[in-house]
Structure 1
Amino acid sequence: MAWFAKIESGIVDKSTFDHYVPAHIEYVKQLNQRGYQAKSGYWNRRGGGMLIFQAESMQEAEAIVQQDPLVLNRCVTYDLYEWCLVVED
């Protein structure tokens, strides 16, 4: 499986965003239970973050991102990239 990165920017006020964070966290946990090795976090400065995960293709990655509660509830805009690793363990 390839690695993908969703780089996101928040587009709603903090209280609206924070309302959907628990659902986003649960979604990431579900992705991990399904083997996608997802990791999610935010930038130290307010207003954006990243979700990295594995998927079979860009098409599958886009489908995964489209189901993220932060995307479904229009809390973020994002760019999706396939991450080509140069160094692995």
Structure 2
Amino acid sequence: MKNSAISYKRHRFPQQIIAHSVWLYFRFPLSLRLVEELLLERGVVVSYETIRRWVRNSGRLTRRKSVAGRRRSGTSGAWTRWRIVCDAG
């Protein structure tokens, strides 16, 4: 299997700005327009459509990498089963 990395070729903005805007969109419950406003406060003029394209193109790979890197907790889900039993009765 080929290890694919995010390519930032032919982008107008630096890699850090693209990665930060995609991170903001996925990390916090923000709309594309709110991410646009946050970047505008920092002096970066970019449209929400551009952010949408960044999220669509590089967001999938970023999310796959972050989910794959997480470790599962050692719990067996006993709390969830207990809660379901107690809520049902």
- Give the number of the structure whose residues are more often strand, by fraction: 1
TM-score (norm 1): 0.31
- Give the number of the structure whose residues are more often helix, by fraction: 2
Higher relative contact order (CA 8 A, sep 6+): 1
Find the structure with the greater CA-based Rg. 2
TM-score (norm 2): 0.31
